[in-house]
Structures are given as structure tokens and as C-alpha cells.
Chains A and B, each alone.
Chain A
């Protein structure tokens, strides 16, 4: 906690000092900074949190969103047939973020009209889930709900938005929690200053999450050079078996 406070002090000091110059330079009434822009996941990674700090020139509300790398996802439903549970129905969705987080300084519905929230996809229930294919006699919303349920169970989505906390009239901060199973890739962090239900200023920042260490090297290698990986896997197993039989021949 003390480290966090110290860091907070440092960043705030830097932020305040840099503020007039930066604001002039970009002519934007909003500034943000992340406590880190690069996270390495090693074998001991059990989740982490990063801090977002910012400052505004204009009184208003701040909404922060974080979107993880997007990927097409298929949701399948098991149905009982001949006594056995079988995957029978499916819907595939385009560009589903592997992680989604939103935080706001007031309830989202009070900050902006629903139409704007939908357009900007603010709020995990507003993340656009566009179907690529449809293979069900049921409701697509059941599949969407299942996707949200799974992501919430893994703490990759959150049912309730987080809080953007104003420290004084100009400075704000929020905490972004990244769980153990956070997907690797490029993240987009976006902060919006909202005044009177409209976006006055937008700032973005990139966040990269990547695997590091020996295990990461293996998994990267296994995908980059599949044939060589396969041959090494076979060679290691042959040697292990041969050494085993050799070691026990006398005993």
C-alpha cells in the first residue's frame, strides 16, 4: 500500500507539473497516464492491477474503458441426445474482446444518453457481439448471456462498472484489475471526458501484455516452428525412454 501511495504521489506531481505544457501542446482538456504500459506474465503470474491517473481542465465526468485483444469466439450449447450431452447448437461472434473493463465517475446512465453509450460500447453489456453464424433454434441472447457469464467467472468482464475517483476537482484515478488468465496482446485504454451528455475530449493509451520466461519461449516456439517442435518432442521422449531402460538394465 505504501508503495502505491508513493507512486501515486510521484505520478500526481509529474502530472500536475506537466499539465499546463501538455494541455497547451495538444489543446486537449484531458490527460491520462498508466502506472505501467507493459506487463510480463511469467509462470508465477497470479493477476495484477494497474493504476490510471488523469487530470482534466474542465469540470465533467470521466469514463475509462479498457478493451483486450479481439478474437472471434464460438459459444456452443449441449443438448441431450440419446441420453448423452452433445454440443448441438452454436453461435459464433466476431471481434469479441478477451478482456473488458469500464469505470466511470458517476453511474454511466447519468453521464450520457443510452444511444451514445451504445455507440461507444461503454458498459460490458453494451460490448457489441455480432454473430458470424447462427445455428440454434433458441434465442441468440441466451448465447450472449452465456458468453458474459463465462467471462465474468474468469474475471475478464465485470458485471458492474468500476469507479473513477476524483482526488480533487482536476485529478482523478481508477484501478484496472487484470486477473490471472488475462489474454496476452495489445490492449486499448481509452478515457473520455463527458460534459452535458457529450464527449468533450478523448485520450487513449496502449497497454501490452505478453508472456515472458522459459515457458513462454516454449509456447511461442511450439506455434512458430511446429515441425521442429514436434521433432524435438519426439527426440526428448525417445531419449527419456532409452535412458530409463539403460539406467535399469543392471538393477
Chain B
């Protein structure tokens, strides 16, 4: 069934979009990641403009993070106080990010910044995961337990609050700042940013692993909503039809992905995820360095 995507200004097969969403949802369910970092580049490879890919990505992430958060909430794995702090910072960051996005668009540099951000983040995260996964596979017998609490400069910050669900007494600044940074990244890259937020919450704030995913998902709902709204009013790049079709596929796919993921050994799973992250980053890096077919690009000049 051919359907015209009003904002992307492309005709596409609705069934293929559902399957595409389902595929990304399956992988994100398997690996426990949001899938934005897969979906946005995939849309760009398929011919959607980077701007619409990012704007629509933020829309899609709302849907997938809601269904994820509900699942964690039912198990009581959400720290609403830390979630609220991340959300407040995130809302500001997302708004700023969408504004920066517009400035970069007008300057003709947004495609480059999107690609470079992906190459940088995916490259670093992919390498870290690959190394970690290899290490874990090599010395699987002697598992080294990380100290639960070790004091760093983070614990010296003011505005300390007690977080009951996480059993923590830390400053409110790190979750807020983390959310702010996440918001900027989410708006510019069209991702939820779980791949970045989850390790930061564990290692920087010291949150217990059980509540990290649910809490970060709660933050991602707010961040992606604000980001989606800011993109819709600043950049006109949110395609409701495209977002909805991909979201339906992704939400269904994620349910099956979770089941498959449960059957694979954790370090192998992380190794596979690392390979996937590096492949996407590598493909984007290649398109940056290879000589373009046509060095010239033509675009309407807005705001004139």
C-alpha cells in the first residue's frame, strides 16, 4: 500500500515501513536500547533528508519509550525523583538542541553535524562495548565485583537530596546536568540517548542497575516530547505518518526482541550490539570521507 509521507515528501510502502519499524524494534528489544541511533541513520540511508529523519526520530522515540517505561514501572523500577530532575534538565537541553539545529540548518552544516555526532558517539560507545564484551568473554570465570560506592568529586557537590528508590544521597546537580546534555544530543541526533545515559547514571551518579533503565526511559519520554515539539515548531521536520507507522512496528517488534534477547548470553549480546553500533558509525564515516558524486547542493534559502 503506497502512502505519501507529507513532511518527508516521499512515497513509500506502508507495509515496508511497518516491517522496518518492527526490525529496529526487534533489535532494540533484544539489546535493551532505544533504537533511535539505528532508525535515524537508516532513514537517511533510505533517502529521507537528515532533518526529517531526526525530527521524525524524536516522535518515534516517544512511542517506544512509553511502552518501555510502562513495563519497568509495573515492576517498580522507576525512580521518579531522579527521573523528574533528568526531565527538567532534559527539557531545557532539548529546546536548546532544536534551536541549535535550526541555526546549523540555516548555515548549511546540519547534515555534517548529524553525521559527525553519530560517527563520534557510535565510534566511542561501540569501541568501549566491544572491548568490554571481549574482556568479559575471555575471563568469564573470575568476575570482578565493582565497589558499590566509591566517593568521587560528584559526591562533593551541593544541593544534596535523598533519593529513596535509588537509596542514594547525592547532589541534584548531576542528574539535572546529565539530562540537559542528553536533551541537546537527543535534539541534534534524533536519538533517545539511553546508550549514553545508562552508563552515566551507573558510573557517575552511582544508581543501582535495576532502576537505571526504567528511570532513563522516563527521562527520555520527556526529552523526546520536548524535542519533538521544538522540532515541529522550529524546523517543520516531524512527519506524523512516517513516525506513527514506524512506531507501531517498533513497539510490536520490541516485545519479541525482549524474548529473543533473554535467551542470548549477556556478553555475546553486548558484543553483537557493539558490532552493529560500529557498522552504522562506519557507514556514516565512509559517506563523510568518500568524494561526493556532486560537490554542489541546491537548497531553498529560508528566512529571506
Interface residues of A (CB under 8 A from B): 42-44, 71-80, 83-87, 90, 92, 132, 142-143, 146-147, 149-151, 213, 215-216, 218-219, 222-223, 226-227, 229-234, 236-238, 240-242, 244-246, 248-249, 251
- CB contacts (< 8 Å) of B288 on chain A: these are 84-85
In the complex, what's the smallest C-beta–C-beta distance from A234 to chain B, in angstroms? 5
CA distance A216 to B238 in the complex (A): 15
Residue of A nearest to B73 (CB): A245
B283-304 with Cβ < 8 A to chain A: 288-292, 294-301, 304
> How would you classify the secondary structure of chain B's contact residues: helix, strand, loop or mixed?
helix
Contact with A along B35-73 (1 / 0, CB 8 A): 000000000000000000000000110111111101100
Indicate if the CB atoms of A238 and B5 lie closer than 8 Å: no
Indicate if the CB atoms of A230 and B70 lie closer than 8 Å: no
- CB contacts (< 8 Å) of B248 on chain A: these are 240, 244
Given known pairs A79-B295, A241-B65, the reply for A222 and B238 (CB within 8 Å) is yes
17 example contacts (A-B, Cβ-Cβ < 8 A) are as follows A74-B301, A75-B296, A77-B297, A78-B295, A79-B295, A85-B288, A87-B109, A226-B233, A227-B229, A237-B243, A238-B63, A240-B244, A241-B247, A241-B251, A244-B67, A244-B248, A248-B67
Indicate if the CB atoms of A230 and B296 lie closer than 8 Å: no
CA distance A150 to B297 in the complex (A): 8
Indicate if the CB atoms of B4 and A43 lie closer than 8 Å: yes
- CB contacts (< 8 Å) of B221 on chain A: these are 238
Indicate if the CB atoms of A74 and B299 lie closer than 8 Å: yes
CA distance A87 to B241 in the complex (A): 31
Indicate if the CB atoms of B240 and A233 lie closer than 8 Å: yes
CA distance A233 to B66 in the complex (A): 14
CA distance A76 to B304 in the complex (A): 17
CA distance A215 to B3 in the complex (A): 9
B152: Cβ under 8 A from any A Cβ: no
- CB < 8 Å neighbour of B241 from A83, A215, A230, A244: A215
- CB contacts (< 8 Å) of A147 on chain B: these are 298
- CB contacts (< 8 Å) of B112 on chain A: these are 84, 86-87
Indicate if the CB atoms of A244 and B296 lie closer than 8 Å: no
- CB contacts (< 8 Å) of B215 on chain A: these are none
CA distance A74 to B302 in the complex (A): 9
In the complex, what's the smallest C-beta–C-beta distance from B289 to chain A, in angstroms? 6
In the complex, what's the smallest C-beta–C-beta distance from A72 to chain B, in angstroms? 4
- CB contacts (< 8 Å) of A226 on chain B: these are 232-233, 236
- CB < 8 Å neighbour of A72 from B63, B255, B290, B304: B304
Indicate if the CB atoms of A241 and B64 lie closer than 8 Å: yes
In the complex, what's the smallest C-beta–C-beta distance from A185 to chain B, in angstroms? 12
Residue of B nearest to A223 (CB): B236
In the complex, what's the smallest C-beta–C-beta distance from A124 to chain B, in angstroms? 15
CB-based closest 6 A-B pairs = A241-B66, A244-B251, A230-B232, A43-B4, A146-B296, A237-B62
CA distance A237 to B247 in the complex (A): 7
Given known pairs A146-B294, A222-B7, the reply for A233 and B243 (CB within 8 Å) is yes
Indicate if the CB atoms of A232 and B240 lie closer than 8 Å: yes
CA distance A222 to B56 in the complex (A): 13
Indicate if the CB atoms of B243 and A215 lie closer than 8 Å: no
- CB contacts (< 8 Å) of A231 on chain B: these are 229
Known: A237-B228, A237-B243. 15 other contacts (CB 8 A): A74-B299, A83-B289, A85-B291, A132-B301, A132-B304, A146-B298, A150-B294, A151-B298, A218-B7, A227-B229, A229-B232, A234-B229, A242-B70, A244-B252, A245-B66
In the complex, what's the smallest C-beta–C-beta distance from B54 to chain A, in angstroms? 14
- CB contacts (< 8 Å) of A85 on chain B: these are 288-292, 295
CA distance A72 to B238 in the complex (A): 24
- CB contacts (< 8 Å) of A245 on chain B: these are 66-68, 70-71, 251
Indicate if the CB atoms of A233 and B238 lie closer than 8 Å: yes
- CB contacts (< 8 Å) of B74 on chain A: these are 249
In the complex, what's the smallest C-beta–C-beta distance from B75 to chain A, in angstroms? 12
In the complex, what's the smallest C-beta–C-beta distance from B100 to chain A, in angstroms? 17
In the complex, what's the smallest C-beta–C-beta distance from B219 to chain A, in angstroms? 15
Indicate if the CB atoms of A222 and B232 lie closer than 8 Å: yes
- CB contacts (< 8 Å) of B116 on chain A: these are 84
- CB < 8 Å neighbour of B244 from A76, A215, A237, A251: A237
Indicate if the CB atoms of A233 and B294 lie closer than 8 Å: no
CA distance A231 to B243 in the complex (A): 14
CA distance A84 to B116 in the complex (A): 10
Indicate if the CB atoms of A238 and B62 lie closer than 8 Å: yes
In the complex, what's the smallest C-beta–C-beta distance from B40 to chain A, in angstroms? 15
